[in-house]
Structure 1
């Protein structure tokens, strides 16, 4: 395994941590800046929106540049943003820091996916991408609980100083371990990168990403309410149950990457179908504690098991201009996150109860399943019509 993949995973760990850890620190941040928790929540929403902007804008702006220096620059941006949040004297400055840090998020994962794939043979590319995304899953399993604990005992700013330190470690690692690969997109113009979006399969892949991720987060965003109000767990057990969900993310990412190296589309079909089954069963048995524990584990596993395949699929159908499409797919994950949270919230607001986000998530996942089936059918027809076409699955 190329050591450069470890450096990319450390960067992914820091970025995942800065995105998610603030959820557990919102009361402290709100009290420090004397703002409502709703206003503090914009530090999460503002981050997510900025990820989408950065995924497209920064990726497009750096298309013609060598990828290793771009990754270094993105990590510098990440360090500056988190340091600014850590020293912020006002809510507005903290928000600015969050926006700056978020701008690097989508571009780092998009470009990093291409770099990770370039470091290994073609038949191991999905696995290489999965190794990078292992950092993101580790951020959920270990980083968020310990980052929250650090913030609660030493002040929320200490967590962001720690995140900045992780950014420095990743920066050094990339400088030392990631090779300056002569990338295949050399000579590719922005127009050619945009041209990747003329492929229907690229758009179908983006749709599966939004809907598949949206289905999982539709159920997960309000999971604390489900666990305490429906399942009957004590609130103090919720963080440990969420760690179990994170274990599922970790395992799903690892298994999904290896399966996708053999067949991308069949892997996606399997994981999305399994996620749908898990969500339906969870909806029926949310009142049972044992069933809920199992549902959390498998929801994380099957939900995140799609990630390496989704990222590999869009890069494959983008052909020789995969960078912007790869970044767009990272933005699509965040759009799915927002879609799931919004749709699940509608169910609760409509008085349908705290299991309604699970059923809404299942419905979104069903649509994702229909889209990947359609994409597979169209890909098969295209490969029959044009035998030289390289299909994804």
Structure 2
């Protein structure tokens, strides 16, 4: 078993080297694709399989496809906004559109606070799980310490020094995910599915599934890379990231289903249940996923924390400086960590991003009302679905 782990480890290191090679790293389209891709598959990859298997069993693959189609539809709205809304905003002439976008930014500010809390909560949970720490409240304490350190760095030093760390973390995450998918493929080829697979889907789980939208969130980051990339590159990179992440998620759920059939999880589902089931794929899989978890969650939290500081500054019309914003964000995250469990925060974050997507749909509807009826209707339908997530999404209960 350890020999297999060494082989997979060597492959992961090779992939990190390939992704870090200047010929790949310096391509504008790839650089623009990596940012949303890393965000989309960052944490969802860790929680998707256990949660969907518990909620829908054999139907997990269909639920995942539905979530991905929903996400791609929202992504299409945002791609239209990059092409048609941004030029209108630059002209500063449409007062109503400016108001919608301001509301959108406020919603995104709240969503980022929730996502930072979620990322760091998951980061701490994996540390507690892998080291088998039994003390009550340890997850919250670790999360609080990390948030205080981030606020300190943000206020006194800034986050420029962490940019290279973030890129390296993304490469590690993508490499481990690729290796784990390959290992799952070999597991499926080496094992036979049981003759009878119990399958069930309870309609009452739909609100909970709606509350898992954050699993496939992250593509909207392309909208805010305008200072670095053209509209054409951002549209293309977002589409690439969504198509690639959709493929990864569908293959992941499809291949992981056999593991659950042969080794059903016992006890309550937790945010780190993937560690318990991954050990059946190959001996070192839990360690691989732990490395992916801590690097990806910390890098994603840093990115959202730093970006939200600038967003708070803009939303407040420069009344709150970026440095002071970091303190407010950290305080809000600490409050959430000590007030709610991880699944409640996941649901709140999904609602926060759904509200932001709803306002993006409103912007698209406003611009396309007279010039493109089909796009207007599509934006309306997607907007209604986003609003349903805000109103009816519920947290998972183990």
TM-score for both structures, normalised by structure 2: 0.28
Looking at both structures, which has the greater relative contact order when contacts are Cα pairs under 8 Å and sequence separation is at least 6? 2
TM-score for both structures, normalised by structure 1: 0.28
